[in-house]
Structure 1
Amino acid sequence: MANLTLMKKTWIVPLTLLLSASLSLAGCGVRIDDGSGDAVRADQTQVARQRASACQEAIGAGIEQVFAGSPDLLAFKDGFEARGKVLGPRWPSPQVKIAGKEKPENLPEPQPYRIPGNSEALMQKLVDCQVNALNDGLTLAAVARESQESSQGDKDEVAQLKQTAALAKVLVATGVAMERENKQIAAAASLTLPPANPSQLSALRYQDGKWRPDKTEENRKGKEEKTPLSDQQKKELSKGIRQLDALRYNIEKNAAQGRDSELKELVSEEITPLLRRQLQELVTQLGTDPREAVYQPFADLSGSDKQAAADGLKIASEVEMNLLTVVPDAQKALIAQTLSGLTDLRGKLGQDAGSLPGLSAKDAKVKTARVGVKP
């Protein structure tokens, strides 16, 4: 099983499909490694949360500094501040007592924290953080799915697994939102986005005053076989496929019954192809086709106007998030690409997808435990 080592005091309330419950993402917990007695380890979940939080904070501060005096550009910092609140503080500097040391140490941040001071640095930070957030989210989603069966019956492992799955969803939503926002920022500032320089997500060990990649985990990468879909995962994937196809069907039917020719064109040329392309891949990964020729009206989805279509796409975005930790391969299943397309289409229909597409950050509450680690 993948190593999930979040402390019990550091927790994330798992996200539901509709996210009516509030979201809580932890600070950064670390633990003394029981093997050597002189190392502190931060797992992939902790590292991913920390660097995503640091990115949102640094970019928000960078926007304020670089675009001072430009109200339209300064407004872009709101999304980064909103995501930063959901992710929690970048590094609470936990104090630990390491074997062989007389006094406890305040652990430094795993990566240097830098606020971009000019437009070039800001553009680079935008693309790097966007790609890292998306990649980290997909990585953690795979960890969560692969670990679901082996964690059954273990209360602590189930709780840790939910933390990882919840964070995966936030990171993918962050990456999707930033992809759109980055283009908007660059266009508004008449700047060009450079190629991204992403960095691989790795668990870290703090030894001899430095954070280093965890060699134990690196050696294990690539050796684990993919876990087949469990019966529960097959059931959830089948349900998700039917939900998406029913949404497609109803959006098409409702638009066809209306008089908005522009909406009809958008549905036939963009919405339907986007969903059909992904549905075929999802069916391939499931191994059977649960789609139906005709569906009943989708609950709470009626009307032939643009608002009704946008509402349908909002529900579809939530389904995407539910499938993220269910599908065997989220990347091949086009989860991020489809969520990104749905976000753009909602924009065309006049609906703002918010700072976390597919999720609701409206009622998000952050509870961060300041973790103290004993030897």
Structure 2
Amino acid sequence: MMRKTGIVSLTLMLAVSLSISGCGVHLDDGSGDTVIASKVQMARYRASACQEAIQAGIEQVFQGSPNLLEFKNRFANRSKALGSRWPSTSVKLKGKAKPENLPEPLPFRTPANAQALLQKMVDCQADTLNDGIILSALVARSQDSTQGDKDEEKRLRDTATLAKVLISAGIGMGRDNKQIAATAAQTLPTARPSELSPLRYINGKWSTDKSSPEDKGSEKGTKQPLTQAQKVELERIIGQLDSLRFNLEKNVAQGGEIQLKRLVSNAITPLLRRELQELVSQLGSDPRQAAYQPYPGLSGADKKAISHGLTLAQQLQIDLVSITPNLQDLGLIQTLSSLSELQEQLGFDSGALPGLKDVSATVSSSVSVK
């Protein structure tokens, strides 16, 4: 736990899983006079609040439409992964006689009609993706400064895990939003994203904390050089992704379905080759080979086999979130979204959280990422 004079540190412990998760919260019961919710905490909080609000909105707006009601399960699954939106634990502030429950940093409202629901869906999807990118940049910017500090290194690993969840959730929401709008015969409105900022609770209300060390320096506009550890991991993933691409091409070439051959040659291969070339540029060397051994667990040339290959490719995208600091240049968001859509075209579900494996991880969001 990080402690600062005059500040109560708010720490969220988030267990992330595709199927089940828990969220426990500890607030210092000390002599501080303010509570600060960092960018990391705010990103988790508002993503969780979005999933809850949209799920409730679907139940209210589409209660007479079974085909639309079933979409609430997608948002419920993401809500479980992100944890409950706000703690009910009380905190004792300096000058107060008794501990008090802190209000939510932002108003929580359930969309009351289809127009409000669709707007909430696109706004939340944009914020969730943007917040995931911001957290990835915060981690990348802090790599060198945390070496040797085990607590800080763990905090960065946890933040990187949360970034992966947010990016995966944003991709899943983008797909679900399109399907909901199509099923409801509606047009999605333009998103109105909002800025991610740390907040300070003082004098009974939340306001933007402009003194936070997180705001010193911009996440945008500065390319982060790769650390040696990132280079090693990036080289490994390039090899895996190119081997997967090679084996998808080889397997489908041996099959007899013309449509699958066209899907691989016209959509999947160009998508992966473009990303691989950008990864090689970021790495500064080319570890790709002319041919590879069979990719572990990948065989066959039917729709199920190709879908499995797309699942593996999506998992590698999520791995890249914590390895390469330049997600925008890489086009990772577009690649992961396209892989998910291609899997849907084959008739297979990429899940509420595309690219995330069904394993548990612990995400701990502390006061700030310096």
Superposition TM-score, scaled by structure 2 size: 0.89
Distance 2:325 2:8 in 1: 24
- Which runs of at least 4 in structure 1 moved beyond 3 Å after TM superposition? 5-10, 12-15, 22-34, 223-227, 363-369
One-letter amino acid matched to 1:284: S
Aligned residue for 2:330, secondary structure, equals coil
Is residue 294 of structure 2 the alignment partner of residue 292 of structure 1? Answer: no
Distance 1:78 1:157 in 2: 36
Deviation at 1:32?
8.6
Contact in 2 for aligned 1:53/1:90 (Cα 8 Å): yes
Contact in 2 for aligned 1:25/1:167 (Cα 8 Å): no
Which residue, 335, 338, 353 being the options, matches 1:338? 335
Correspondence for 1:222 = 218
Contact in 1 for aligned 2:42/2:196 (Cα 8 Å): yes
Write the deviation string for residues 16-35 of structure 1: whole angstroms up to 9, x where unpaired. xxx9xx8756456556999x
Superposition TM-score, scaled by structure 1 size: 0.88
One-letter amino acid matched to 2:167: V
Which residue, 69, 72, 92 being the options, matches 1:74? 69
Structure 2 stretches lacking a partner, 5+ long: none
Alignment of 1:164-243 (within 5 A): 164-217=159-212, 219-222=215-218, 227-243=224-240
Alignment of 1:263-282 (within 5 A): 263-282=260-279
Correspondence for 2:148 = 153
One-letter amino acid matched to 2:13: W
Give the % identical residues: 53
Contact in 2 for aligned 1:25/1:367 (Cα 8 Å): no
Aligned residue for 1:40, secondary structure, equals strand
Distance 2:81 2:257 in 1: 38
Distance 1:354 1:323 in 2: 19
Correspondence for 1:11 = 13
Deviation at 1:149?
3.1
* Structure 1 residues 341 and 219, CA gap change in structure 2 (3 angstroms): closer
Correspondence for 2:318 = 321
Deviation at 1:129?
0.5
One-letter amino acid matched to 2:276: L
Alignment of 1:77-156 (within 5 A): 77-156=72-151
Distance 1:158 1:303 in 2: 41
Aligned residue for 2:146, secondary structure, equals coil
CA RMSD of aligned residues (A): 2.9
Write the deviation string for residues 208-254 of structure 1: whole angstroms up to 9, x where unpaired. 21211111237513299655211111010111111111111110111
Deviation at 1:368?
10
Distance 2:338 2:237 in 1: 18
Which residue, 322, 343, 347 being the options, matches 1:350? 347
Aligned residue for 2:329, secondary structure, equals coil
Aligned residue pairs, count: 359
One-letter amino acid matched to 1:267: V
Which residue, 22, 41, 54 being the options, matches 1:59? 54
Deviation at 1:146?
2.5
Contact in 2 for aligned 1:11/1:24 (Cα 8 Å): no
Distance 2:8 2:176 in 1: 31
* Structure 1 residues 62 and 223, CA gap change in structure 2 (3 angstroms): closer
One-letter amino acid matched to 2:260: L
